[in-house]
Amino acid sequence: MCTQRRKHEDESASQPHIKKPRNAFMLFLNEQRPKVSAEKGMKSSAAVNAAVGQMWKSLSKEEQAKYYEEAEVERRLHAQLYPNWSSADNYGKKRKRVRSRTPATTGKYAV
Partner DNA sequence: TGGCCTTTGAAGGTT
Partner DNA sequence: AACCTTCAAAGGCCA
Where does this chain bind DNA (CB under 7 A)?
2-4, 17, 19-26, 29-30, 33, 37, 43-46, 49-50, 53, 56, 68, 71, 75, 86-102, 104-105, 109
Nearer to DNA, 9 or 94 (CB): 94
3-8, Cβ contacts within 8 angstroms, sequence gap of 24 or more: none
Closest CB 82 distance from DNA, rounded Å: 11
Nearer to DNA, 9 or 84 (CB): 84
Closest CB 88 distance from DNA, rounded Å: 3
Closest CB 10 distance from DNA, rounded Å: 19
SS (H, E, C) the chain: CCCCCCCCHHHHHHCCCCCCCCCHHHHHHHHHHHHHHHHHCCCCHHHHHHHHHHHHHHCCHHHHHHHHHHHHHHHHHHHHHCCCCCHHHCCCCCCCCCCCCCHHHHCCCCC
Nearer to DNA, 19 or 63 (CB): 19
Closest CB 67 distance from DNA, rounded Å: 8
